[in-house]
Structure 1
Amino acid sequence: MTKFNALNIRTDILQNIRSLGFEEMMPIQEMAIPLALKGRDIIGQAKTGTGKTLAFAIPITEKIRTEASFVQALVLTPTRELAIQVATEFEKIGGRRIRVALIYGGASINAQIDRLRRGVHIAVGTPGRIIDHMDRGTLRLNKTETVVLDEADRMLDMGFIKDMGQILENTPKNRQTMLFSATMPKEVRLLAGKYMLDPEFISASRDEDELTVEDVQQYFVRVDRKKKMDAFFKVVKQEQPSKALVFCKTKRWVEMFYDILRRRKFSVARIHGDLSQAAREKAIGKLRQGTVTYLVCTDVVARGIDIPDISHVFNYDIPDEPLSYVHRIGRTARVGKQGTAISFITPDQLRDLWLIESKAHTKIHEWKMTGK
């Protein structure tokens, strides 16, 4: 792999990258950054955890003119959590010289307006709130030079395809556009064809229908439904995770499981869609900083959230779709590290397990109390 210092970028950016512990580029970065620095439009196919955020954040930061106070780059993300993550990466590699506005629903719009009025270089946010600011006249994109569509396939799934088009229509036609997506459904390809100029296609993924996650040791625990809770406590006692996600199917189960773990003196937080944005950010922050060991959650964090050093993912309830399984276990083994995923399977769910194995081209081994 090529080292970051081979890039012709600012010394302070290189120093900030090194301070994050990165020396060598990941494949998607090695392919994307030189093209982006040249101003090329890029379609990047990369699964989660491949380092794609830095693939666009580094060239954008390099090209920012700090003396100019208009929005030079816009990054669209499907969720608030991913927007926060992306904005944080910009701030880490750009330092104090870069001003970033974080724009998403569920947060104070007046605070966002104030931030925009003070002048920012980069805006990162979700499509709905971005359009809200455009309609109010508080976000002007008529001079924007670069637009990034991050996780475009998920924005499609969430119904943002028209919003993405509307936003692109309000930016200069000679802008640079970068689109990153784990998969390339027809609608995403049509969007790229309409709004991108001779894009370069790069891929750090396998074939579109191959969903496997490398570097994750995958196991299942065969258990009767009534003994599932006891099995969970036996497994975590043996595994001793340093930082873990516990996935449940419903918000109600997240709350119940969270209460049970707290009563047993576990260091735990929880997150689901009914919690306020502030509460969700606080819970994610606790796990990221290591002040709790377990985060009980629904699929709201199954994609797009990058929490370093998660050692284990526990599927207390397995998901209905193989792709959801891949996104869940992809929270561990980030950027080449090892991780463990353990799913609790009742006898009537064995067919679901076999389907996941087939679609994800993987083998999920049975977990044994006496060892693996």
Structure 2
Amino acid sequence: MQSLEKFEKLGLKENLLKVLAELKFTNPTDIQEKSIPLVLEGKNVIGSASTGSGKTLAFGAGIFNITQIGKGVQALVLVPTRELCEQDAKSLKFFSKNYGFNIAEVYGGVSLENQVRKIKISEIVVGTPGRILDHLRRGSLNFERLKILVLDEADRMVDMGFLPDVEKIIQACPKERQNLMFSATISQDVEYIARKYMGKTVNISAESNVDPSKLEQIFYDVPTSVKFSLLFHLLKEEKSDLVMVFCNTRRNADTIANNLKRFGLEAVAIHGGLAQNKRSNIMENFHSSKTKILICTDVAARGLDIKGVSHVYNYDIPPSIQEYIHRIGRTARAGKDGKAVNIISKNDYMNFQNIREDSKTEIKQKELPEFETVNPRFSQDKYSDSRRSFGGRSSGRSGGRSFGGRDRETGRFSRGRDSDRSYGRSSGGRDRGTGRSFGGRSDSRSSRYSSGSRDYKDSRDERSHSRGRSFGGRSSGRSGGRSFGGRDSSGGRSDSRRSHTKSNVRRYRNER
């Protein structure tokens, strides 16, 4: 096993080295090289490492080193999500196949009784905080013989509100134990856990496994009313391998996936609202490339190591730079090129400006391509399937608030005027506003779109004049329901000949 010399020097045992030889591993990753010797010495380690950095092998080596067969649960790996639980358990089972350990996966959405039976014969448990607490309360899980506690993706557990649960679990563990914590970012709350519960620690930081020179970050600035149309166009036209599209809410993820299917693109949504067996099937199909486009929320995708992702789209801009880094870190791995595409409109401006100011890399504004607009269905509303040609190339100037660069005089990002121009005419009723009505039939004539010629006005003008496309129905001169970009001055009630229920005029909001 000459090729495994570097792993041998880290102190790994023969049983694990044989598995690494089978996997054709030759060089340890940065986090493995820095952490494995410390872990094997029994140190409490805090590792700053991103998804796909090889940390599972790092903490797995420590677990295998001190665990004995048939002595009860001796190792607990705590993770934030079901998918990461399955992923970590699968990796640990493979790495430990020459040891003979039993490993239990413990998460919600599946039978407690089946888990109880598995826990009874297991030495290692990988689980989510909520379900681990369930078993502790039932008495089906105890940590009397626990030797090592691992917190994987600790920052995400805190972000998801699991800190109280994590503390309860830690308090149920023996005081004499080894502690390992791995986190993409070390927040104040993560530091609090370390100070309070981990004793003396060794902190290490691994280099990112994302190659910045291979990652292109761009953004398009468009009216909300054509945001989906641009995404649809890019997914059709961009040459890609696997694609991940991020949304901030479950509702948005479902909506985008359903509309992409309507227009002929096979896409699947994954989020915490789906049954566990369905989520597992979705991820299996994505890993095997049976599904090429995954629409996801941060919660569902966090911590998953997915190879072959060439494009990451932010349909909704995340609220923090940390979430942004987690998202774009899915691509440009292992020396391959990657692309992070941000599609922004008014609701995204604040988040995006904060991210650009905090980002250490440049996010360039791209000239809008020529694309056809489509009429997506939002929520449970039923809209027409008509399409319009969206002609004209962008002159490169920003529509809406400009993010293309800083103002030459003030050094600040400029804010343009904000009034969406008409993109066509509705035959459902004469539209005296500037937005196109989606309730009536589409006129055969199309308008030419140029972001350089759009003249945005402030959002307060939009509220009073209903700028942006109307989604309520046939327009009679004002808004046909609440506008996609802002609130209708008439209170969201259409003046058209058709009345609509409240569900048909609900604003498509960027909710978390």
Question: In the TM superposition, what whole-angstrom CA distance separates every residue of 1:7-29 from its partner, at most 9, and x where no partner exists?
Answer: 33233422323444532111111
The answer (yes or no) to whether the contact 2:81–2:128 under 8 Å persists in 1 is yes
Q: Which residue of structure 2 lines up, in the alignment, with residue 323 of structure 1?
A: 322
The residue number in structure 1 matching 2:205 is: 203
Query: Offset of 1:6 from its aligned partner?
Result: 2.9
Give me the whole-angstrom Cα distance separating, in 2, the residues matched to 1:124 and 1:336.
31
Corresponding residue SS for 1:311: strand
Answer whether contact 1:311 1:333 (CA < 8 A) is retained.
yes
Residue pair 1:45, 1:182 contacting (<8 A) in 2 also: yes
8 Å Cα contact 1:302-1:327 kept in structure 2: no
Render the CA deviation track for 1:39-63: whole Å, top value 9, x for unaligned.
1111112233322222212232244
Of 122, 127, 130, the match for 2:129 = 127
Look up the match of 1:366: 365
Instruction: Give the equivalent residue in structure 1 for 2:156.
Output: 154
Partner of 1:17: 20
State whether residues 269 and 286 of structure 1, in contact with CA within 8 Å, keep that contact through their aligned partners in structure 2.
no
Q: Which residue of 1 aligns with 2:292?
A: 293
Counterpart contact for 2:76–2:148, Cα < 8 Å: yes
* Residues in 2 aligned to 1:239 and 1:21: alpha-carbon distance in whole angstroms: 33
Q: How many residues align?
A: 363
Partner of 1:74: 76
2:220 and 2:233 mapped to 1: Cα distance?
11
- Cα deviation, 1:255-277, whole Å, max 9, x if unaligned, reads 22222222333232211222112
Query: The residue matched to 1:162 in structure 2 has which SS?
Result: helix
- Counterpart contact for 2:211–2:335, Cα < 8 Å: no
Q: 1:195 to 1:335 in 2, by over 3 A?
A: farther
1:331 match: secondary structure: coil
* Highest RCO, 1 vs 2 (Cα 8 Å, sep ≥ 6): 1
What does the per-residue CA deviation read over 1:223-260, in whole Å, with 9 as the maximum and x for residues that have no partner?
33333233223322332221111122332332222222
Q: In the alignment, which residue of structure 2 is the partner of 1:50?
A: 53
| Comparing 139-148 and 360-369, the one that deviates more | 360-369
CA RMSD of aligned residues (A): 2.5
Structure-2 change in CA distance of 1:71 and 1:249 (3 Å): same
Question: By how many angstroms is 1:203 displaced?
Answer: 1.5
Q: Give 1:365 shift.
A: 1.8
Query: Cα 1:225–1:181, aligned 2, differ >3 Å: closer, same or farther?
Result: same
**1:142, distance to aligned residue in structure 2 (A):** 0.6
In structure 2, how many angstroms separate the alpha carbons of the residues matched to 1:136 and 1:232? 48
- Per the alignment, do residues 125 and 349 of structure 1 end up closer, same or farther by CA in structure 2, a change over 3 Å counting? closer
* Separation of aligned partners in 2, 1:176 and 1:201: 14
Asked if residue 225 in structure 1 is aligned to residue 224 in structure 2, the reply is yes
- Give the 3 Å change call, closer, same or farther, for CA 262–360 of structure 1 in structure 2: same
- Tell me the amino acid that sits aligned with residue 174 of structure 1: E
Question: How many Å apart are 1:302 and its aligned residue?
Answer: 4.2
Once residues 146 and 287 of structure 1 are traced to their aligned partners in structure 2, the CA distance between those partners, rounded to angstroms, is 33
Percent of residue pairs bearing the same amino acid type: 39
Of Structure 1 and Structure 2, which has the larger fraction of its residues in helix? Answer: 1
Which segment is superposed worse, 341-350 or 104-113? Answer: 341-350
Which residue of structure 2 lines up, in the alignment, with residue 209 of structure 1? none
Tell me if the contact between 2:44 and 2:202 (Cα under 8 Å) persists in the aligned partners. yes
Alignment of 1:261 onto 2:260 = yes
The aligned counterpart of 1:7 is 10
Match of 1:87 in 2: 89
Q: Which runs of 5+ in 2 are unaligned?
A: 371-512
| Preserved CA contact (<8 Å) 1:311 1:340 | yes
Q: Is 1:38 the counterpart of 2:41 in the alignment?
A: yes
C-alpha separation between the residues in 1 aligned to 2:364 and 2:75? Answer: 45
Is 1:105 aligned to residue 108 of structure 2? yes
Tell me the secondary structure at the aligned position of residue 3 of structure 1.
helix
Give the TM-score of the pair, scaled to structure 1.
Answer: 0.88
TM-score w.r.t. length of structure 2: 0.66
Q: Which amino acid aligns with 1:61?
A: F
Quick one: distance in 2 between partners of 1:12 and 1:159? 38
Distance in 1 between the 2:151 and 2:71 partners?
Answer: 22
- Deviation, structure 1 residue 113: 0.5
Contact 1:2 1:25 in 2 (8 A): no
CA contact (8 A) 2:232 2:260 kept: no
Partner Cα distance (2:7, 2:246) in 1: 36
Distance apart, 1:137 and its partner CA: 1.7
Structure 1 stretches lacking a partner, 5+ long: 207-211
Counterpart CA distance in 2 for 1:253 and 1:348 is 14
Instruction: Measure, in 2, the Cα distance between the counterparts of 1:158 and 1:235.
Output: 31
Moved more, 324-333 or 282-291: 324-333
Larger displacement relative to structure 2 (311-320 or 140-149): 311-320
In structure 2, what is the equivalent of residue 191 of structure 1? 193
Equivalent pair of 2:30/2:207 in contact (CA under 8 Å): no
Q: What residue is the counterpart of 1:170 in the other structure?
A: 172
Distance 1:74 1:335, change over 3 A: farther
C-alpha contact 1:99 1:122 (8 A) present in aligned 2: yes
